[in-house]
Chains A and B, each alone.
Chain A
Amino acid sequence: MATAQTKAGHLRARRVPLIVREPAVAITIILIASALAVFVVYPLYMVLRTSLTTDGRLSLAIFRGLFSKSYNRRPLANSLKLGLVVSTVGTAAGFIFAYSTTRVDVPLRGFFRLVATFPMISPPLIMSLAAILLFGNNGLITRQILRGAVDFKIYGFRGLALVETLAYFPTAYLVLSGVLQAIDPSIEDAALDLGASWWQMFRTVTLPLAVPGLAGALLLIFIESLADFGNPIILAGNYTVLATQAYLRITGLYDLSGGAALAVILLIPSLIAFFLQKYWVGRKSYVTVTGKPSAATTRRDEPWLRWGAFALCLALTGMILLLYGTVFIGSFVTLWGANYKLTLANYNHVFRVGWHHIRDTIFLSTVSTPITGILGMIIAFLVVRKQFPGRRALELASMLTFAIPGTVVGIGYILAFNQPPLVLTGTAAIIIILFVFRNMPTGIQSGIAALQQIDPSIEEASCDLGADSAATFGKITLPLIAPAFFSGLVYSFVKCVTAISAIVFVVSARWKLITVAVMGSVENSDLAQAAAFCVVIIAIILAAIGIINLLVYPPWKARASRRAATAGTEGGPGAIPPSAVGGQ
């Protein structure tokens, strides 16, 4: 009887529209939806319209024209092959790294964690620079060490797969360590206590619980690889990929419609990946944070696991250090390959010519990062926890800028915001808006993955005790998804400071970004100057990560959460303040 009444009550509540039930939530949704419509959908619509219009009429002539040429067909296959290889290997590497550093008693954990962030905190294309400096025809290793005995053939698929895997596996690492931390270790302990071997436990408990994270990571890396521009433009040789072809078509041939059409072709696999992830992963339940306080993580210390994980981490870390060390040293070298005398001339150039770029980059990134992070978490929360018409459309729209190659977003922005009613070109606003909407998807993605693991009853309890949606989100949900929030912020800031392809179109003489200067140096093969710029970028990002870390996990908070947070994404459920979970 009582059950029936409650059910009836629930049903009645369902029928009351959201706008009456929770006006604040409804207004937030409307505001976000309008912003997404203007800054995501409208520019994309402009690009689509441009690619589908010939002489003012709707037509597929541009696509037909493109596909009639083999030099336009081949890049599609090349992009897909590269994306599949890079996302698979990158996700595997990211998982090994995340598992080793969060679950296994591996020596030098903090060191590994630090090095794994290196590829995230520099423009991806620096990997290609380092690869050429080391393994190119006249590279340090090819020429000086191996004396030309081996031809690494790094220009092409092999080189690209290597540098993109190294450049993008940290995305998987960040997402997966957030997810692994959120898996309650007492479940794993229970499996072991019941007599399971490590492998049985790993296969039947840890791995299935990590599936949303794995799928998310796979998706993210696949799209990143598809859209990557910096590496292919330097290292592709004759292995043409879609992102660069779309870019070259627009920037080189002034063919807006052809470039837009190539980008539309590139968008299709990205969207397929997105929907696959939604329907394949979305059905299962991954609740492990139940609101009951749990003990701190027990780290596995079986010798084979410990040293096996250590060896894998060391190999990956060694490769990264080698590449970054090369860039660091290269930034002090007069003329790589010809004159190895050390000099500060490159930094002199960076601070004289690049000072304006550095100042603007810091300012624009600092403004857009918190907006991106908070908006991303709000959208993740709305998508996972609230039922409203157009929920899926909202999620899709918020993911779109990530799935579209940057060049097209940039062109879309110029097409859309260079004429009334909304003239934004040349302002700081257009760059900030582009940053926000372009960098939000990763935060949303990891926010969704984290939220799927948190039992909604914790939030329901808060609501039952009288808190409204905003208070519940701020006091309960946000602290619970702090690791995802943190990775969203870091990712967003890093992307601001390292973005290239979309940004080239919205920078102005008033508002410049460092990456444009790096691009200039790289395009002109001034590798040492590019290296110096990259070292400066890394320094800025390291400082920013430190600050973000302090702000998300303030030292004046409980010591337990502080300890959990000091090394970036370390933690386990300790990162979730016990007061938020078990209190009240």
Chain B
Amino acid sequence: MTGRMVRAFAVLAVLLMLSATAVTAPVKVLHLLTALDPNEAKIYIGAFEKSTGAKVEWVRMSAGECLARLRAESRNPQFSVWFGGPSSEYVPAGQAGVLEPFRPEGSDFLSPQQRDANWNWVGFYFGALGFACNTDWFAKNNVVFPASWQDLLKPQLKGQISFAYPYTSGTAYTLLATMVQLLGEEKGLDYMKRLDANVHHYNTSGSACVTQAGLGEIAVGIAFSHDVMAKGTAKGYPVKLTVPSEGTGYEIGAMAVVRGGPEPDLAKQFITWALSTECQDLMQEWFRIPLNPKAKVAPGAVGPDQVKLIPYDDVWAGQNQARLIDKWREMTDK
């Protein structure tokens, strides 16, 4: 019985192996790690494959997980490109030596804030923090939409807010760093503690709270405005985007060549392409603000001109990440 079974499994395995190899044609393959939502990542990756004929093998993880993965693999990197996620997450990666400096051709439009001083990483989009509000809940409970950070502390919103853990999500860490930069360290952390009293739960992924706000699981999610638009409003959820009047933090979405990755040339080609209008135009679909000034911007997308911004220092944020998160955890006991 066992003999026959082993044989049957062997045949099955060989067949599957053949079918797997038959699909793999000898084309150039790029191994890419992304922190973008898979529904979004597939837009750009598909376009790159179409435009260059190369094939992209990709894996999606939260930004924090991407960094953990790259660090753990640093002696034998499996990926050539890290694509997407706030630049503050790329700062510690550059310090850890897992990124390869690269200055893409035609990237002159990047301002010094939109790239690393040593070209460890370059930015490719802009996104400001905002609030995803469930319109049904606000109408039913007769509460006005939050228009400031202070509004989020209202007792009516107790147990009605969600966002992510600052230690897993680039979005949530941007929020923590924003409050510290806006109010100063002591007051900023104190604000986060008072905000915690109104939080229903924390997620691992930054944009998850948008869907939760859409579903009515919570009333307000704190996330990047493009995620609020793309995953909330544009999808048909009863979600309205508002932005805080005191000024808000933002991310420069970054990408980088992984040091020692298997396909350095293709990686550089991808990053150069991602700054071209061909790719940057596609960001309309996700309401991101492209950094290339020639690229088209989706109507309704929140650009740097439509919202009051704080002078957000991503390098400082990246350098102080471990310390601030530790303080936040002690304060909130999360």
Contacts and interface: CB of A to CB of B under 8 A. Distances in A.
A418 B238 CA distance: 47
A366 B236 contact: no
Number of contact residues on B: which range applies?
35 or more
A419 B203 CA distance: 34
Interface stretch (A16-24, A34-42, A217-225, A247-255): A247-255
A527 interface: yes
Number of contact residues on A: which range applies?
35 or more
Interface in B13-53: 13, 16-17, 19-20, 23, 31-33, 37-39, 42
B31 A554 contact: no
30 contacts: A71-B330, A136-B215, A138-B215, A138-B216, A237-B201, A248-B204, A251-B62, A251-B168, A252-B62, A252-B68, A253-B64, A334-B236, A338-B215, A353-B42, A359-B20, A360-B20, A362-B16, A369-B9, A370-B6, A425-B78, A505-B69, A509-B58, A509-B59, A510-B31, A510-B57, A524-B208, A525-B207, A525-B215, A552-B1, A554-B4
A370 B9 contact: yes
B9 A251 contact: no
A474 B65 CA distance: 45
Contacts of B224: none
Contact of B61 (A339, A426, A504, A525): A504
Contact of A248 (B168, B201, B330): B168
A352 B42 CA distance: 10
A293 B329 CA distance: 65
B68 A251 contact: yes
Contacts of A335: 214, 235-237
Interface string A342-368: 000000010011001001101100110
A69 interface: yes
B62 A508 contact: no
Contact of A254 (B58, B64, B203, B330): B64
B106 to A, nearest CB: 27
B334 A523 contact: no
B309 to A, nearest CB: 26
Contacts of B8: 551
A137 interface: yes
B330 A69 contact: yes
Interface in A529-577: 529, 551-552, 554, 557
Given A137-B216, A418-B73, A509 B78 contact: yes
B210 interface: yes
Contacts of B215: 136, 138, 336-338, 525, 527
Interface of B: 1-6, 8-9, 12-13, 16-17, 19-20, 23, 31-33, 37-39, 42, 57-62, 64-65, 67-69, 71-73, 75-76, 78-79, 92, 165, 167-168, 200-201, 203-205, 207-212, 214-218, 231, 235-238, 322, 325, 329-330, 333-334
B176 to A, nearest CB: 13
Contacts of B16: 362-363, 366-367
B325 A253 contact: yes
B34 to A, nearest CB: 10
A520 B32 contact: no
A254 B235 CA distance: 34
A172 B148 CA distance: 52
B187 to A, nearest CB: 22
A132 B32 contact: no
A419 B77 CA distance: 11
A479 B1 contact: yes
A374 B59 contact: no
Interface string A402-414: 0000000001001
